[in-house]
Each structure stands twice: as C-alpha cells, then as structure tokens.
Amino acid sequence: MERPAWAPQGIDISVPSVSRMYDFYLGGSHNFEVDREAARKAMEFLPGLPKIMQANRAFMRRAVRYAVGEGIDQFLDIGSGIPTFGNVHEVAQAADPRAKVAYVDHDPVAVAHSQAVLEGNDLAVIAAADLRRPKEILANPAITGLLDLDRPVALLLVAVLHFIEDADDPRSAVAELREALAPGSLVILTHASYEGIPLSKEEADGTVGVYRNIRNPLIMRTREEIGAFFEGYEMVEPGLVSMPEWRPETPQSPEQEDPYAFSGFGGVGRKA
Ligand SMILES: C[S@@+](CC[C@H](N)C(=O)[O-])C[C@H]1O[C@@H](n2cnc3c(N)ncnc32)[C@H](O)[C@@H]1O
C-alpha cells in the first residue's frame, strides 16, 4: 500500500491503530483501510460508537472552557490523538489567547499530524511520550519549556486510560502526574465503561474482542475504578457522570440524546 504524505516514515500501516480508528469514527481522513475495517467491525457490535466519541469530544470542550473560566491557562493533554476539529488549543485559545497547550501521544501519526497543525503556534507543542512513563512526560523539555508546572495546569486524560491495562499500572502513573501538579490544578478525564447504557454481553464482548485482536485492548472499568483516578482531588460538580450530563451548555432533556452517548464516564477533579 502506498504511504500518503501525512503518514510518517516507518509506521506499520498493515496494523490498525486506535488513534486512526478514532479519527475514522469522528469522520476524519487520517486513517487507512485496515483502521476502517477494524472500526467497522467494532461498530457491528456497537453501532453507537461514533456517538460515544462525539459525546467525549463535546465533554472535553466544555471541560476546557470550564478550566479557562476558573483561571487555568496551561493544559497538558495526554493521549491527545489525531487532531480533528475543536482541539484543546483551539478551544482554550479562543477563550484565552494566552493559553498554553502541551499535547502528548505515543502514536507517530498523531504526533506528525499535530506537528503540522501546530506549526506557527508558539503556545502549543506536541511531545511523543507514553502515559505509562509519567516521569519522562514531566521531564520532557518541549513540555517543561512551555508549561510552568509550579502553576496550576489542567491535565487531560480523555479517552486514553481505557487503553492502559492494569498490568501497566495506570493508577500509579496517574498518581505520579497528580502529585506533580500545583494546587489549583484540574484533572479532566473520561473513560469507557460497561456501566451506564445497558449493553448486551454480545455487544460488549464483541467490541472488546475487536480491540483485543488488534493488540490494543480496550479496558472497560467500573465507575468506582474510574473515580479512583481522581484520588486526593475534590470532584467538581456534578462529579463523575455520563458525559452528556456534565455541565451541558444547552438545556436538553436526556431523551433528546442518543442513548449511546451515555456510555462511559467523565469528570473533573481539583487539587486543593
Ligand atoms: C481515543 S483517542 C483520544 C484522543 C483525544 N484525547 C480525545 O478524546 O478526543 C486515544 C489516544 O490515546 C493515545 N494513547 C493510547 N495509549 C497511550 C499511551 N500509553 N501513551 C500516550 N498516548 C496513548 C492513542 O494513540 C490515541 O491517540
């Protein structure tokens, strides 16, 4: 298969990637047939997957606007993905043109595409790093050169922790990041879960099976397990809830939303 100009040298385009599958669910164009095929397979079990992703992106934008409203002007977005539209720097800098955003992803396509999108923006960077190695993130010169970690930061862990298996100890990784942040910092987080919408066993197992087959397991966690990622932080109202229920900006009854949008949880915690 021909490698398009946007795809960096050396990536394996015969294997699906979760960031390119996510790009496909959101209607982006930075994906290959292998990604689309895996995404379509997952959607056979869970046709509402794109709805879940849209609810996730909408939550992220509301949470970023909330953070700016609370006086936060620095953002660390880990597992930032392939930029589609309404990215953290666009939302944050629309509300506060001085807002600084450091993106982190371990996927080479996400990193290359972010570099292209951020060219000419002195207040945003992308670093290639792994959430499982938080020390490297906190010491990364591109990040420490932009963000002042002695001042409050909004740390985004949006739709990324469900790709980290318990064996890789995501709780310790997140604890290390939480501890490194200054008082007044926020953690903005979403995570996939079987709780919320009533998924049949077939839908749930089928979807998880697609991700297992591409060797990027999707780890569903309970609301309680997800809440533990905020340990020591105070939850901002309304707490850890399904994504459309977190501070909706337009009055809308839940019945107007697609039921799939209520799968998974999102929340914001504040360091006292
Ligand atoms: C579903 S996308 C979410 C993108 C964005 N945060 C959003 O919610 O719109 C998950 C992203 O996390 C990245 N990711 C997965 N595991 C990671 C890890 N261990 N370290 C850094 N990034 C990771 C993937 O490459 C992918 O781009």
Q: Which of 16-25, 48-57, 199-208 has the lowest mean pLDDT?
A: 199-208
pLDDT at 254: 57
Check pocket membership of 54 for ligand 1, CB cut-off 6 A.
no
Token output for 246 = 């977190």
Question: If you average pLDDT over every residue of the chain, what do you get?
Answer: 93
Per-residue model confidence (pLDDT) at position 234: 98
Q: Would you tell me how many other CB atoms lie within 10 Å of the CB of residue 214?
A: 19
- C-beta 42 within 6 A of ligand 1: no
* Separation CA 167–CA 157 (nearest Å): 19
Ranges assigned E (strand) in the chain: 74-78, 100-105, 124-128, 154-158, 186-191, 234-235, 265-270
Q: What is the pLDDT of residues 188-242, one digit of tens each?
A: 999 999 887 777 888 888 999 999 998 889 999 999 999 999 999 999 999 999 9
| Ligand 1 contact, 22 CB (< 6 A) | yes
Res. 250 pLDDT band, cuts 50 70 90: confident
41 C-beta closer than 6 A to ligand 1: no
Q: Which residue has the tokens 């799939």?
A: 260
CB 160 near ligand 1, within 6 Å: yes
Q: What tens digit of pLDDT does each residue of 138-163 get? A: 999 999 999 999 999 999 999 999 99
User: pLDDT tens across 70-125, in order?
Assistant: 999 999 999 999 987 889 999 999 999 999 999 999 999 899 989 989 999 999 99
CA of 251 to the centre of ligand 1 (A): 30
Report d(CA 128, CA 136) in Å as an integer.
10
* Site to substitute for ligand 1 among 163, 171, 210, most atoms within 8 A of C-beta: 163
Whole-prediction pTM: 0.95
Q: Decide: 219 in ligand 1 pocket, CB within 6 A.
A: no
* Ligand 1 atom closest to 132 (CA): 19
Distance 174 CA to ligand 1 centre (A): 14
Q: Does the C-beta of 60 come closer than 6 Å to ligand 1?
A: yes
Indicate the top mutation candidate among 12, 89, 106 to test ligand 1's pocket, ranked by most ligand atoms within 8 A of CB: 106
Distance 253 CA to ligand 1 centre (A): 30
Would you state the structure tokens that stand for residue 191, as one six-digit string?
């995570």
- Give the end-to-end CA distance of the chain in Å, rounded to a whole number: 52
Is 80 touching ligand 1 by the criterion CB < 6 Å? Answer: yes
Look at residue 216 in the predicted model and tell me its pLDDT.
87
Residue type, 11: I
